[in-house]
Structure 1
Amino acid sequence: MRIRATVAAVSGALALSALAVPAAQASDDSSYRAQAARVLAHAGSPGADRTAFNAAAAPELGVSFSNFKVAKAVKVGTTAPVSVTATYTLTHGADVDITSEDFATGPFLYRGSSFDSAENVLFGAYPATCTATSATTANCKGAIEIEPGDLWNANAGTWSGGGLALDYSTEGEKVQGGLGKILVQRLSKLTADATPEPVKKGKTITVTGKLSRANWETNKYAGYSTQPVKLQFRKANSSTYTTVKTIKTNSTGNLSTTVTASVDGYFRYSFAGTSTTPAVNAAGDYVDVR
């Protein structure tokens, strides 16, 4: 399992041995990252040996999470980190002081049918900020940071949201999954090139292009094969594209088709998207018909 930590990904036993920090450092943001990585790695690492971790099981904090809200989808490219914000309601017992420097909470995302079998976990570099709405509830807002290097291509698709709470003074903790859904998608690109330019009316126009998407394992873009893509056209004096035909990308993501020249206008390709790859439109390419 890959798990978002300071800069590099940390997993399993490494997180337990290398990321434990003393409570005296609780107010330091780097300690939140370390403690969150330790807790989430062992709570969500599939098949991990939790014997040593469970032998000194931390007390469960009397908190719960609800009203978790996050974007419907987040698009991740090949190099630039992406941040997505989540909000949630934190409900806690009277014995939990959320204003203490020893207390921290934050949202996280995980990929898998359940948190106990998660194949990957992502969270933020800093704890969430919370505003008390009563003696036992608070509205919280936190960022989840995503770097392409923390993802495998197979991770693209539906992820679930969760909430984490930590008390450094008691070493108490609470992890709750199943709070919401979000699509983590491989950023897509689409091109279109119509030739010749200019062209005589009634002659053939060839429109080529390519549909590609981020490969998180090579940090490059690669063609997206056998995907339906619409060829669209809008007249020079119009703002509306209409679909001319639908074709599929070849094994390397390339597109090519022909149309008959009729009037001046713009050709583009349009991809509707999938659960793993967002929708994208190519920039329109103008053709002067004479």
Structure 2
Amino acid sequence: MRKRIAVLCVATVLAAGAVLLVPTVTTDTSQGDTRVLGITVNGGRTILVGPTEPVTFPLEVTAEDGSGIRSVSPIGVWGPSYGVLKASPMKCTPTSHTVSVCRGTVTVDPARKDVYNDEAGTWFVDLKVNANDGDHFVGQTAGGFSLKRAARISGYGVPPHADEGRELTVKGWLNRSFWSDNKYHGYEGGTAYLQFRPHGSSHWTTVATALSDPTGTVTARVRASGTGEFQWYSPGDKWTGSAISPPLTVTVAAKPGR
């Protein structure tokens, strides 16, 4: 239903003669020697969005024209499943007679339903760069970036003390933000690695791999080999961010005679 409404909104806006920043609506074409030298979204880092808190991230466009750059407008961002976000007005600062760096911000607020679960993934910048002499550059996929659902993972089941060689059942709960109801829920089918760090070491070693069940629970069975810490690490995927659990400490008593 939401996607159908989005299509109807596009048709309505077109009928009214307004400008909507989605690639299927942009009909202008580039003209002259205006070009984009680079686009940076959030400093090149993945944007992680939780279930409720708004996230504002920077957008930077470097453009060039023989006459200089007047403005970057209109500009917006779009993603999967009709996802559209609005960018703030861009402020352009000349770095030479021909090149300018234009900066703005984009805010995504899941509580206001700016995004839905199926809109996580690869997003793009849609823009028009305007030069002082009337030339312009139009780009519908001028720069790509990753917007993902934030994830969390907890760990439990490690006893504070264990005998050497004892089998330990270590569990965790992998969950991610659901923009549909603004809560965290268990994430099924996610990969998680159980890692161990011996006491006094800074190096983590993967000792088991698990896939989360329908509730988001991950389970691994390992032998107690020495005093140290366990943690769960989930690398995430194209739609979901990575997560690391707090460390779980175990003190292991060596077998007699050792």
TM-score (normalised: structure 2): 0.78
Query: Is 1:75 equivalent to 2:43 in the alignment?
Result: no
Partner of 1:139: 101
Among 234, 238, 260, the alignment partner of 2:201 is 238
Q: Which has the higher helix share?
A: 1
1:46-105, Cα deviation, whole Å (9 max, x unpaired): 6xxx8xxx9xx99999865441122242111111111221211234685x983xxxx663
The separation in 2 between residues aligned to 1:59 and 1:233, in whole angstroms, is: 56
Partner of 1:29: none
Consecutive unaligned residues of structure 2, counting only runs of 5 or more, are 4-8, 131-135, 254-258
The separation in 1 between residues aligned to 2:23 and 2:181, in whole angstroms, is: 24
The separation in 2 between residues aligned to 1:259 and 1:110, in whole angstroms, is: 45
- Matched residues, percent identical? 28
Partner of 1:287: 250
Deviation (angstroms), 1:111? 1.2
1:229-288, Cα deviation, whole Å (9 max, x unpaired): 111111111111101111111111101222222311111111122111122221111012
The separation in 2 between residues aligned to 1:60 and 1:133, in whole angstroms, is: 23
The separation in 2 between residues aligned to 1:80 and 1:189, in whole angstroms, is: 15
Q: 1:133 to 1:239 in 2, by over 3 A?
A: closer
Among 53, 57, 66, the alignment partner of 1:84 is 57
Query: Is 1:127 equivalent to 2:89 in the alignment?
Result: yes
Q: What aligned pairs does 1:144-159 form with structure 2 within 5 A after superposition?
A: 144-148=106-110, 149-159=113-123
Query: Is 1:12 equivalent to 2:10 in the alignment?
Result: yes
The separation in 2 between residues aligned to 1:77 and 1:104, in whole angstroms, is: 30
Partner of 2:190: 227
Among 145, 151, 155, the alignment partner of 1:188 is 151
The separation in 1 between residues aligned to 2:11 and 2:127, in whole angstroms, is: 22
Deviation (angstroms), 1:16? 7.2
Partner of 2:213: 250
Deviation (angstroms), 1:214? 0.8
SS in 2 for 1:79: coil
Equivalent pair of 1:212/1:253 in contact (CA under 8 Å) = yes
Equivalent pair of 1:61/1:174 in contact (CA under 8 Å) = yes
Q: 1:17 to 1:262 in 2, by over 3 A?
A: same
Query: Is 1:105 equivalent to 2:76 in the alignment?
Result: no
Consecutive unaligned residues of structure 1, counting only runs of 5 or more, are 3-10, 21-37, 113-117, 167-172
RMSD: 3.5
The separation in 1 between residues aligned to 2:242 and 2:36, in whole angstroms, is: 32
Q: Which has the higher strand share?
A: 2
The separation in 2 between residues aligned to 1:178 and 1:200, in whole angstroms, is: 58
Query: Is 1:44 equivalent to 2:42 in the alignment?
Result: no
TM-score (normalised: structure 1): 0.70
Deviation (angstroms), 1:150? 0.7
The separation in 2 between residues aligned to 1:197 and 1:17, in whole angstroms, is: 67
Deviation (angstroms), 1:199? 2.2
Equivalent pair of 2:158/2:248 in contact (CA under 8 Å) = no
Partner of 1:32: none
Equivalent pair of 1:107/1:142 in contact (CA under 8 Å) = no
Equivalent pair of 1:270/1:280 in contact (CA under 8 Å) = yes
The separation in 1 between residues aligned to 2:40 and 2:155, in whole angstroms, is: 37
Q: What aligned pairs does 1:161-240 form with structure 2 within 5 A after superposition?
A: 161-164=125-128, 176-240=139-203
The separation in 1 between residues aligned to 2:40 and 2:252, in whole angstroms, is: 50
The separation in 1 between residues aligned to 2:66 and 2:114, in whole angstroms, is: 35
Equivalent pair of 1:106/1:142 in contact (CA under 8 Å) = no
